[in-house]
Amino acid sequence: MNAQATGESAATRLGLILVALLFLGLLLVLPLASIFVEALRRGIAAYGRAVVEPDAISAIKLTLLVAAISVPLNLVFGAAAAWAITKFDFPGKSILITFIDLPFSVSPVVSGLIYVLLFGVQGWFGDYLAERDIQIIFAVPGIVLATIFITFPFVARELIPLMAEQGRDDEEAALSLGASGWQTFWNVTLPNIRWGLLYGVLLCNARAMGEFGAVSVVSGHIRGQTNTMPLHVEILYNEYNFVAAFAVASLLALLAILTLVLKSALEWRYGYHGRGTGH
Amino acid sequence: MAQAIALEAPLQPIAVSAPAQLRLRRPRFRRRSIIPGFGLTFGFTLAWLCLIVLIPLSAVFVRTAGMGWSDFVATAFSERAIAAYRLSFGAALIAAAVNGVFGLLIAWILTRYEFAGKRLVNAIVDLPFALPTAVAGIALTALYAENGWIGQYLAPLGIKVAYTPLGVVVALIFIGLPFVVRSVEPVLADLGNDVEEAAATLGATRLQTFRRVILPSILPALLTGFALALARGIGEYGSVIFIAGNMPYRSEIAPLLIVTQLEQYDYAGATAIAMVMLIASFLLLLLINVLQAWTRSRSLSS
């Protein structure tokens, strides 16, 4: 019989751990390692050339620009949505939360398509935009819109359960002591939710910089103009320029590693654990 | 001061006599609160939600409604489209099932056992959330191609992964794993030791305890993780297209078919398939909400 009533034997434990580690190694670690090996296959010089090539630089700049617009907007939205949902009682709250979650369950390709249906040449506003020479699809605004859609729930989903847990007592105390609404938010609420906010922003940013499907549909793949880093990876890969493709991919992999390191740091240092499952 | 006000508030309704209260009560959208900012935050939330999510999504429905039923069925359920759905849904189902098993195993060792490098394992489980899908796609393709690190050992066995439907499954296993681990982990951690001790005292073997005591308690969470992985897998694009081979009728996923039709300016065809995908994801979202409510009620009652 078992040595411990509610534990497994040492052999079983070891076996289970080894199987799990083997699975993780094959499925996650090996692909991650292969990115860097493939990128450095022709040496560090070829790697450097691929990364500083003008099209790559412009892809990096566009990716940073898109994230710099979409992440703050979703941050403001997430904070506002969490405030409205957790500090007040009103009917239809759970429907509102479900609607906020919607972008998570929509295929990235469909997320891009909906903006093509609105702003593309045959779209609802296609003629209007064409007359005024405004381009949204196959241009930067479309990429930004699709990215905002894809990353829409990240911050809200992290903040809503966190702020619901914390209740309203702190805010009510501050307000009854004469603080204004903004003062209460900045000095009472924000310090309480800062790690959750950071956590949400971290994941939101990773997705915003890495989004492929939705951006691919609206971008038009114009080199040097509407190519984000993931799209640039695809173009290089399809041109059989594997070293360059993996070099640019390795930058995105580094971003992913940085995201995981910061996320783990939040969990270990500050004991913060993500509340929104299903990113 | 704060206390005085806090005390005053709940007393108020009692002080007002019943008929007077009836007269005073006007239908209000939300309950009274001293916290300000409802109009601002609720209004902004609703406006932003409509502009970014609801109005654009409604375009798919309006466009489809304009097509007419027979046109819609003809485009949305053409032979090629059905083959694509079968691959997308089938591969996502298999991948979610594999993740159900291994995700549970990983959640188990993370919550129950101590071993060197546990924190690293915990961090790396989230890699698929953080790694851009296109990067995952080319990395998996390089690994499983016939001359790749893994592919070269599979080729002599006659197993081809890259550029076949099996490759789609591998990519979706990669994408879906953290959903299962992160859904099961908190429930497994909260599970009290006492029920397991009781089962052992009553003579259950460890395997019996797992099957009859632990598994039923974590089942809602496990199914939630399964459904989340499934939903993600059905719509997944970036990681799949590199490894799939993309042969119509054979290794072409439904999202790719949408892209192909858009590139040929066949908006109606793309929209019809998108409609089918949207309905599938709405149904799954509904299922996930039900499962999450079930998980919560389980964890509250235990």
Tens digit of pLDDT for each residue in B178-188?
999 999 999 99
Structure tokens at A186: 């900045």
Is the pLDDT reported for residue B167 higher than 70? yes
Mind giving me the DSSP string for B120-175? Answer: HHHHHTTHHHHS-HHHHHHHHHHHHSTTSTTHHHHGGGT---TTSHHHHHHHHHHH
Q: Give Dmax (Cα) for chain A.
A: 81
By CB atoms closer than 10 A (0-12, 13-18, 19+), residue A158 is buried
Smallest CA–CA separation between B16 and chain A, in Å? Answer: 22
pLDDT computed for residue A5 by the predictor: 56
Q: Do B274 and A109 touch (CB under 8 A)?
A: yes
pLDDT computed for residue A75 by the predictor: 97
Q: Which of A20-29, A110-119, B191-200 shows the lowest per-residue confidence on average (mean pLDDT)? A: B191-200
Quick: pLDDT tens for A235-249: 999 999 999 999 999
Question: Which chain B residues have a beta carbon less than 8 Å from that of A249?
Answer: 132, 134-135, 138-139
Sequence-separated (6 or more) residues with CB below 8 Å from residue A51 = A247, A248, A251
- Mean pLDDT, chain B, as a whole number? 88
Taking the C-alpha atoms of residue A220 and residue A202, their distance in angstroms, rounded to an integer, is 28
Q: Do B274 and A2 touch (CB under 8 A)?
A: no
Q: Give Dmax (Cα) for chain B.
A: 86
Long-range CB pairs of B65-72 (<8 Å, 24+ gap) are B67/B268, B67/B271, B67/B272, B71/B268, B71/B272, B72/B272, B72/B275
Q: Across residues B190-219, what is the average pLDDT?
A: 87
Give the residue ranges of DSSP H helices in A53-180. 54-87, 93-105, 108-119, 126-131, 140-151, 154-166, 169-176
B58: amino acid identity, one letter = S
Is the pLDDT reported for residue A79 higher than 60? yes
CB A142 within 8 A of CB A115: yes
Nearest to A149 by CA among B60, B246, B136: B60
Q: Which of A137-151, B2-16, B36-50 shows the lowest per-residue confidence on average (mean pLDDT)? A: B2-16
Residue of A nearest to B210 (CA): A6
Q: Do A117 and B56 touch (CB under 8 A)?
A: yes
Q: Do B271 and A117 touch (CB under 8 A)?
A: yes
Q: Across residues A111-132, what is the average pLDDT?
A: 91
Is the pLDDT reported for residue A116 higher than 70? yes
Quick: pLDDT tens for B124-155: 999 999 999 999 999 999 999 999 999 999 99
Question: Which chain B residues have a beta carbon less than 8 Å from that of A217?
Answer: 259, 262
Interface confidence, given as ipTM, is: 0.92
Q: Do A181 and B173 touch (CB under 8 A)?
A: no
Task: Give the Cα-Cα-Cα angle A33, A35, A40 (nearest 5 degrees).
Answer: 100
Is the pLDDT reported for residue B171 higher than 50? yes
Smallest CA–CA separation between A30 and chain B, in Å? Answer: 8
